[in-house]
Structure 1
Amino acid sequence: MILQALCDYYKRKSDLPRLGFETKAIPFVIEINAAGHLVQIEDTRTIEGKKKIAHNFLVPQGEKKTSGVATNLLWDNAEYVLRACGTDKLAKMSMERRMKYRLRLREMHSAFIEQIKALPESVYEDTGLTAVLNFLVSDFKHMKANRKRLKADPLWLEILETNPVLTFRLNGDLELVCQRSAVRAVLEKVETDTEEITCSVSGEIDVFERLHTSIKGVWGAQSSGANIVSFNKAAFNSFGKEQGANAPVGKRVAFAYTTALNYLLSKESTQRIQVGDASTVFWSEKHTDLENTFADLFDEPPKDDPAKQTRAIEALFQAPQIGALSYDGGKTPFYVLGLAPNAARISVRFWQVGTVAEMYARIRWHFEDLEIDHASYEKSYLSLFRLLVATATQGKSENIPPNLAGEFMRAIFAGLPYPQTLLQAAVRRIRAEREVNYPRAALIKACLNRQARYSPSHEKEITVSLDDSNTNPGYRIGRLFAALEKIQEESSPSLNATIRDRFYGAASSTPVTVFANLMKLKNHHLAKLEEGRKRYFEKLIGQLMSDINDFPAHLSLADQGRFAIGYYHQRQAFFTKSESTTKGE
């Protein structure tokens, strides 16, 4: 299903490379004349921010690199193309290793030349290909002249030290040599000398693809790429079949799905987001508005446009009213795929399929469930990144619990309860840091409300703001704890630590062990307040205690979450009242 959906997307995207080609970032192009003399080295890079970004070119599909020598047709790194190596690299090698490396360079360069010579004889009539061969294979005088021109070029030292990808262009042409019609005609022909099979994805007769192109761009995977379909050990084989024969996929399908996925995962793609350790891509069967706005809904907004996510979510809520979900558009299938590294392979973290209308509805539910009171300076909507780092140690993305992002996304797009591990992580982080902030409170509210909808217990759902009618013991005791802390703060403004810093963990899990002492301590604090504030707090505590017969010996995980929400709601209510009083004055 995943490969088939990717193939359909490839067919839809007419601008993607066709069979036999791929898109590659190439920083330097060697420009030569028809005689094979070097004209110049062209720098294709442009400055974006503080980085130099190489231009993307359509080139022949690259070989799957291994520890051995494997070269690409008419493009590769400087070691293959020019037998080039920086002096610093050689200086760090021993004499023996240096000799071996020089031999390997010669072997790599020879392989690059032989790859070109292996093309059909009809291609040799092409002026561009003849020029490349003249540049690479020439007499001593010709070669010496080209070497002299290379070393005189200001980019030569950078090429030696960085070993960049290079290719060729004939002087006066706009296209590369590898893009010339004679070369394209050869590469676009499908080989027929390999076994024909019935493709397990398309069901059509096709040429068997033994090794699939590597997928690049998955965060944490090998920089050279990894595979979704891979059989590289005997333990993975069956019935004596080897490698790709265990899951026979045709050459056309293998090229289509790998090209589409590499395009979606590329740095320039607007159809990818990073969710924890899961590199997430998304697309629809045909173009829809959701394809354009999906990343804005979940990703962290850019610094130069902090309101971008808010605008996208507001548009999401308005979509049904303005007719954005017409019958045809709403019925279009939409796909969300989460990928994570797994040694030399890529594992599927989650795969969600639904119509555009279903996705719109489920995303709206997600943001409605997260809605909770917060300070005016805080964002109205939280990105997935902000929610997940709120559960991580030290607020660092690398400390987000493994698999949590994938489980979270799966719950959002399936409309199911959020994972129990998400609630556990949020409650645990609050107890460890003794801070109930906006993202954690929003997460806990969303988790508890979704659980309540799917649970037979008929537990009351948590509201956006303070709920005086909620008599749940955890919620009530959380409110009481916030009131006791507020009394302490007002009576002793210079305190460095409040009861929250000392007793939150015990109060939220085993209330009976601490509340007796806290209730006694509050009398001492109340005595320091002016009469009006004292009466206000006594009345509030009386209301809260009216529904608390006795402090529980233990609160369940869900009630620990309600304790945190009760505490948060009550603190927000104190802030709102004090703010309105200040404005009134």
Structure 2
Amino acid sequence: MILLALKEYYDRKAAEGSIAEDGWIQGGIDFLLEIDRDGYLRNISDLREGEGSKKQARRFMLPNIGKQASKHSNSGEDANLLWDNAKFVFGLGSKGKLHLTSMIAAIDSWIGSMADDGVQAVRSFLQLGSEDREHFDMALNHPEYGEIMQAGQVKISFYVLGTSYKAVFLSPVVATALERMREAEDPNARQGTCLVTGEQNVVLEATHPVIKGVKGAQSSGAGIVSFNTDAFNSYKKTQSFNAPVSKVTTSRYVKALNSLLDSSSRQSLQVGDASVVFWSEDHSTLETDFSLFFNEPSKGDSDTGTEKVRTAFESLHTGAYVEDDGDTRFYILGLAPNAARLSIRLWQTGTVADITSKIKQYFDDFEIVKPPKEPMFYSVWRIMVNASVQDKSENILPNLAGDFMRSILEGTPYPATLLQAIIRRIRSDTEYRVKPVRAAAIKAYLNRYRRFYPNQTYKEVTKELDKNQTSIGYQLGRLFAVLEKIQEESHPGINATIRERLYGAASATPVTVFANLLRLKNHHLAKLTNKGRVVNFERLLGEVIGRITGFPAHLNLQEQGLFAVGYYHQRQDLFSRKNDDEE
């Protein structure tokens, strides 16, 4: 199902002309060597774009004559056709002679007698260099580019002076040669039925190309379909013949996935350790907007990013996505690194209408009263970070992010590990305790859990203070917030309040804390000079305590979550009241 959806995405993008067709690969070229028809270098053209160390190679559709054009073996004999890194083009390193010979052999075997003047000029350039190394001196000793050329990593191709095409690999004879050679049947190729498309008597792929762009995986790439030891073989089938997929389908699904994972793609996002890509059956607005709902806005463009999310969020509520593309199929795939392979962390399909309704529910779940400067929407990254040790992204629990994303898209209860992680973080974060994002996450978890398991001792948690909430934990959280506020106003500038010292005990074992806190509050109230403020506090304390039947010896995890939300709601209400009084 996954490979078929990717192959169909390739077919769609190929029809639009926005993805490399069979025999070609998307890649970057840093420099063009401008040579004359006799093979002598006349100039070097720098194609890189950007500034300083951030310069990026210019993207082209490049001829692909190997299984993985961007990855070389140790043989030194697998050059690309009319383009490659500087090691091959200039014959650098211990295998320099082999590199040059391989470059020439690729031209001879793939184009041969079909070579036009441009291709022949490139062959002459390589041949002259293999006979006399000084032929390459102009490039390797270039005052501006020589050092980077000698490093051997930059990608290089050729422009032949007097020809009509911008790079030699764009010559019509190259396209013709690729098409002719691809059509030539390999007499040793194994044929069979493709498990993805159901086509029969097609040439099968022995080893699938690697997938690049998954964060944390090997830089050279990792595979989805891979059989590299005898233990994985069965019925005398070796390599990827264990899971037969045609060469054409393999090429297409790999190109589709690599294009989605490309650094310039707008159809990917990072969720914990999983690289998530998404696409639709046909073009849809959600395809380009999806990442806005889950990504953190860039720091330098926070206002613009927030405005984009606001617009997309309004589209969720107005039903614009459903009106435009409601019945279109939508796919979400999450890949996590696993040594030389990739593991499928997330796979979700549905219509655009179904997916958008799930996203809307996610936003509604996390809606909560918050301070003015707080972000309007919380990205998945921000939620995960605030549930992690020391609020650091490297401490995000690997499975939590994927499980959380899956629950959003499936509309199922949020993972219990989310509530556990946030409660632990609140207890350990003595400075901030219940941040708005943490309170929102607890509210979201509790309400969705209650939606699926309605026999609960508490009512639905609202986005702001609910004086009639039936949860004992919620009311105790309110009481703790009021007692803290009394202490703060009676001791201005105090270094540590009861929040820093006693929050953990109060939220887990209330009976051990509250009796003493209620005695101390009398001393705090006595220090307040504003008697009207004292009356207001006593009235508020009476209202909250009137809803508490006793102090439990222990609160379970859900009640501890409600304690946090009650504490947060009451704190927000107290500050809003103070602001109203001041106004």
Moved more, 18-27 or 164-173: 164-173
SS of the equivalent of 2:277 reads strand
State the one-letter code of the partner of 1:489.
E
Correspondence for 2:435: 437
Matched, 1:136 2:126: yes
Letter in 2 for 1:559: E
User: Which amino acid counterpart does residue 114 of structure 1 have in structure 2?
Assistant: A
C-alpha distance in 1 between matches for 2:435 and 2:350 = 33
Counterparts of 2:474 and 2:248, CA distance in 1: 59
Q: For the residues of structure 2 that align with 1:271 and 1:238, how far apart are their CA atoms?
A: 37
Measured in 2, the distance between the counterparts of 1:419 and 1:68 equals 49
Partners of 1:293 and 1:575 in 2: how far apart? 36
Residue 471 to residue 322, structure 1, CA distance change in 2 (3 Å): closer
Cα drift, residue 385 of structure 1: 1.5
- The amino acid of 1:555's aligned partner reads L
Give the deviation of 1:36 after TM superposition. 1.0
Q: Which residue of 1 aligns with 2:553?
A: 553
Partners of 1:2 and 1:50 in 2: CA distance: 37
Q: Distance in 2 between matches of 1:140 and 1:515?
A: 86
Q: Aligned in 2, Cα 1:118/1:493: closer, same or farther, shift over 3 Å?
A: same
Q: 1:73 aligns with which of 72, 81, 85?
A: 81
Aligned to 2:397: 401
User: Any residues of structure 2 matched to 1:20-419 within 5 Å, and which?
Assistant: 20-47=23-50, 51-61=54-64, 62-64=66-68, 65-69=72-76, 70-84=78-92, 102=94, 104-119=95-110, 121-123=112-114, 125-138=115-128, 144-148=134-138, 150-152=140-142, 154-161=144-151, 163-173=153-163, 174-188=165-179, 189-193=182-186, 194-205=189-200, 206-319=202-315, 324-325=320-321, 329-419=325-415
- Contact 1:363-1:412 within 8 A present in 2 as well: yes
Superposition pairs for residues 536-551 of structure 1, below 5 Å?
536-551=536-551
Q: Secondary structure at the match of 2:492?
A: coil
Cα distance change of structure 1 residues 240 and 455 upon mapping to structure 2, 3 Å threshold: same
Once residues 121 and 384 of structure 2 are traced to their aligned partners in structure 1, the CA distance between those partners, rounded to angstroms, is 56
State the Cα deviation string for residues 114-134 of structure 1 (Å, max 9, x = none).
3333225333x3222211211
CA distance in 1, matches of 2:507, 2:405: 29
- CA–CA distance in 1 between the matches of 2:322 and 2:513? 58
Alpha carbons 2:227, 2:239 under 8 Å: kept: yes
**C-alpha contact 1:63 1:71 (8 A) present in aligned 2:** no
| Shift, 1:50, TM fit | 6.0
Question: What is the aligned partner in structure 1 of residue 484 from structure 2?
Answer: 485
DSSP 3-state at the match of 1:46: coil
- 2:465 matched to 1:466? yes
Q: Is 2:209–2:223's contact at 8 Å kept on the other side of the alignment?
A: yes
SS at match of 1:118: helix
Partner of 1:96: none
Identity of aligned residues (%): 47
Change over 3 Å in CA distance of 1:251–1:494 after alignment to 2: same
* CA distance in 1: counterparts of 2:139 and 2:82, whole angstroms: 21
Q: Is the 8 A contact 1:37 1:146 kept in 2?
A: no
SS in 2 for 1:219: coil
Residue aligning to 1:497: 496
- Whether the 8 Å CA contact 2:388–2:395 is kept in 1: the answer is yes
State the distance in 1 between where 2:390 and 2:454 align: 37
SS at match of 1:167: strand
3-state SS in 1 of match to 2:408: helix
Do 2:111 and 2:174's aligned partners in 1 also have CA atoms closer than 8 Å?
Answer: no
Quote the Cα distance in structure 1 between the aligned partners of 2:318 and 2:404.
30
Change (3 A) 1:306 1:477: same
How many angstroms apart in 1 are the aligned matches of 2:53 and 2:82?
A: 30
Structure 1: unaligned runs, 5 residues or longer: 86-101
Structure 1 residues 314 and 539: CA distance shift in structure 2, 3 A: same
User: For 1:305, what is the secondary structure of its paired residue?
Assistant: helix
The equivalent residue for 2:453 is 455
Separation in structure 2 between the aligned mates of residue 195 and residue 169 of structure 1, nearest angstrom: 39
RMSD (Å) for aligned C-alpha atoms: 2.0
| CA distance, structure 2, for counterparts of residue 139 and residue 511 of structure 1 | 83
1:36-93: CA deviations, max 9, x gaps? 11122221101158611110111122544344434322222211221235xxxxxxxx
Query: Aligned to 2:55, what secondary structure does the other structure show?
Result: strand
The farther-off stretch of 318-327 and 243-252 is 318-327
Deviations 1:385-431 (A, max 9, x none): 21111112222111111121111110111111111111111111110
Secondary structure at the aligned position of 2:236 is classed as coil
Q: How far apart are the structure 1 equivalents of 2:129 and 2:357?
A: 70
Partner of 2:9: 9
The separation in 2 between residues aligned to 1:149 and 1:338, in whole angstroms, is 44
How far apart in 2 are the matches of 1:112 and 1:439? 57
Unaligned runs of 5+ in 2: none
Matched residue type, 2:506: A
The DSSP-based 3-state class of the residue aligned with 1:220 is: coil
For the residue of structure 2 that corresponds to 1:221, the secondary structure is coil
Determine the C-alpha separation between the residues in 1 that align with 2:310 and 2:559: 32
Equivalent position SS for 2:468: coil
Closer, same or farther in 2 for the Cα pair 1:26/1:314, shift >3 Å? Answer: same
* Separation in 1, partners of 2:261, 2:51: 19
After TM superposition, the score normalised by the length of structure 1 is 0.92
Change (3 A) 1:507 1:166: same
| Inter-partner Cα distance in structure 2 for 1:139 and 1:228 | 41
> d(CA) in 1 for partners of 2:42 and 2:534?
88
Which has the higher mean CA deviation after the structures are superposed, 530-539 or 220-229? 530-539
Q: d(CA) in 1 for partners of 2:578 and 2:51?
A: 48
Contact 2:100 2:126 in 1 (8 A): no
Could you say what secondary structure the match of 2:320 adopts?
Answer: coil
Give how far 1:441 is off: 0.8
